[in-house]
Amino acid sequence: MWFNMKILIVDDEKNIQKLLSDILKDNGWATFVAGDVQEADRILQREFIDVMLLDVFLQHERQGLDFLKKVRTTYEFPPEVIMITGHGSIEMAVEALRDGAYDFIEKPPSMERLLLATSHAYDWIRSIRKNLYIKEENTPIIGESSQLKKIMDIVHSVAPTDGSVLVTGESGVGKELIARSIHLNSKRKEGPFVVINSAAIPEELVESELFGHEKGAFTNAMKLKRGKFELADSGTLFLDEIGDMSLKTQSKILRAIQEKTIERVGSESHLNVNVRIIAATNKAIAEMASSGTFREDLYYRLNVVTVDILPLRERTRDITPLFDHYIGYFSAEYGKPVREIDDDIYAYIIDCQWPGNVRELKNFAERAVIFSREGVISLGRMNIFTTSRGDKADFKKLADARIQFEKEYIMNALTASKGNVASSARLLGMDRSNLLKKIKALGIEIENS
């Protein structure tokens, strides 16, 4: 299995440590051992452990149970814990399970019992962590254009390799979907697919999000935080909008890619990471690299393979199948079956420029289902009116309509006042200076009487 399974064995008996470690190593686990809770705590801070085998009795009675509570409450992504003991009781087992243990087994456990418990715990922790930090996306890649077919040919060629990929294209064209498709067709598909949107994170927090931080590294760093590089270990890290990252952050990303190690903020220790990088941008990143606003060496590291996604207006054959897919999706989502779609709708969506690309088309399909009546979707039901069949709609955005209304309303007041601004202001119930600002902003030309 490509995904690296990590297990920590916490037991003060050396022979038990060796017995359990040997069995688990033979079955694909990367094993770590600790003889006390202090050593176990240090390993948990250094390594991203999936499952921990924890003895109930360590240096003193119940110390394992106390450590269980600490692990479950102080770590952002705690491992699943299997309690082991040679002096157990039903009451102790119930308490351990109540405090968050995944299972409770007696030692020395049989090989079958040990492997079954650890396997189930591992499957469970993977599903839990996926729900916590991996963004899910249920939209398939849909289209019939030759451009999209070429893109998918590139995806299927590059996916089985470990090469970095740079995905370019306007906002909303589906860059993350392409990145996810590469991951799902790679040998890392059993590992995590972790997304970080550089544009959505304040500059002062980007480093912490990428590399994590130690407890006390800065104000409000109340506990250890694992960064996206660490969470993506053995999987894929998708760096969305990488063109928005500062040169300082770019330098640290380059180092992480080259050396396959990271440092959490506030730490001087190196952590090994095995991550495939897929980056995306809507900016002219080649020009940025040439002008020095993006690190040229990082650009060449990322740009092993480029996938350039054309805007939707240049892939008109993809518009109708995408629209039909979203109509079906939202029909089921809102419980509003659609039995008929007017031809005017299809003429309209083909004619539109879709500056927001697939994202905008998806929103349009959602509105179409919401405003459908008796299973019928039409431009009229959506309050979109065209001058003739297939022409572009005269329907304006709300902000544009408001500006046009304000301009006409003020011009009518000026006409009624024969161009006198003071009189117009009284008619409109406005302060004269505010009206003058509006007149200037709206580009209204007046001649004072």
Query: Strands 165-168, 276-281: parallel, antiparallel or unpaired by DSSP?
Result: parallel
Q: Let me know if residue 13 belongs to a domain.
A: yes
Q: Let me know if residue 138 belongs to a domain.
A: no
How far is the C-alpha of 41 from the C-alpha of 47, rounded, in Å?
Answer: 10
Alpha helices in 87-133 (DSSP H): 90-98, 111-133
User: Among 133, 167, 190, which residue terminates a domain?
Assistant: 133
Q: Are residues 120 and 223 in the same domain?
A: no
| Residues 21-35 pLDDT 10s | 999 999 999 999 999
Question: Which CATH number fits the domain that encloses residue 80?
Answer: 3.40.50.2300
Q: Are residues 151 and 289 in the same domain?
A: yes
In the predicted structure, residue 102 carries a pLDDT above the cut 80:
yes
If one counts every other C-beta atom within 10 angstroms of the C-beta of residue 258, the result is 11
Q: Are residues 175 and 100 in the same domain?
A: no
Q: Let me know if residue 115 belongs to a domain.
A: yes
Q: Are residues 303 and 327 in the same domain?
A: no
Pick 271 or 8 by higher pLDDT.
8
Q: Hey, is 57 helix, strand or coil?
A: coil
Q: Let me know if residue 140 belongs to a domain.
A: no
Q: Are residues 24 and 73 in the same domain?
A: yes
Instruction: Return the pLDDT at 386.
Output: 55
- Which H helix or E strand runs over 110? none
Q: How confident is the model at residue 410 (pLDDT cuts 50, 70, 90)?
A: confident
Question: Which CATH number fits the domain that encloses residue 371?
Answer: 1.10.8.60
Question: Which CATH number fits the domain that encloses residue 417?
Answer: 1.10.10
Which DSSP state fits 171?
A: T
Q: Are residues 358 and 298 in the same domain?
A: no
Domain count, the chain: 4
| Residues 237-247 pLDDT 10s | 999 999 999 99
How far is the C-alpha of 442 from the C-alpha of 410, rounded, in Å?
Answer: 10
How far is the C-alpha of 18 from the C-alpha of 244, rounded, in Å?
Answer: 49
- Is the CB of residue 243 less than 8 Å from the CB of residue 285? yes
What are the tokens at 399? 């902000």
Question: Which CATH number fits the domain that encloses residue 255?
Answer: 3.40.50.300
Of 39-48, 284-293, 415-424, minimum mean pLDDT range: 415-424
Q: Let me know if residue 162 belongs to a domain.
A: yes
How far is the C-alpha of 118 from the C-alpha of 103, rounded, in Å?
Answer: 9
Q: Are residues 302 and 318 in the same domain?
A: no
Q: Are residues 292 and 156 in the same domain?
A: yes
User: Among 273, 290, 310, which residue terminates a domain?
Assistant: 310
Structural domain that includes position 327: 314-377
In the predicted structure, residue 446 carries a pLDDT above the cut 80:
no
Q: Are residues 232 and 366 in the same domain?
A: no
**Which among 262, 277, 276 is positioned nearest to 230, based on CA atoms?**
262
- Give strand pairing partners of 29: 5
Q: Are residues 122 and 29 in the same domain?
A: yes
Exposure of 425 in the CB half-sphere (CA atoms within 13 A): 13
Q: Let me know if residue 272 belongs to a domain.
A: yes
Q: Let me know if residue 382 belongs to a domain.
A: no
User: Among 257, 275, 310, which residue terminates a domain?
Assistant: 310
If one counts every other C-beta atom within 10 angstroms of the C-beta of residue 179, the result is 25
Would residue 126 be called left, alpha or beta, if left means φ above 0 and alpha means ψ between -120 and 50 degrees? alpha
Q: Are residues 85 and 187 in the same domain?
A: no
In the predicted structure, residue 327 carries a pLDDT above the cut 90:
yes
Pick 438 or 242 by higher pLDDT.
242
What are the tokens at 178? 């392409």
| Residues 384-400 pLDDT 10s | 765 444 444 445 555 66
Residue with tokens 């009284």: 426
Q: Are residues 63 and 191 in the same domain?
A: no
* pTM assigned to the model: 0.74
Q: Let me know if residue 141 belongs to a domain.
A: no
Of 94-98, 163-167, 275-279, minimum mean pLDDT range: 94-98
* % of the chain with per-residue pLDDT over 70: 92
| Residues 281-326 pLDDT 10s | 999 999 999 999 999 999 999 999 999 999 999 999 999 999 999 9
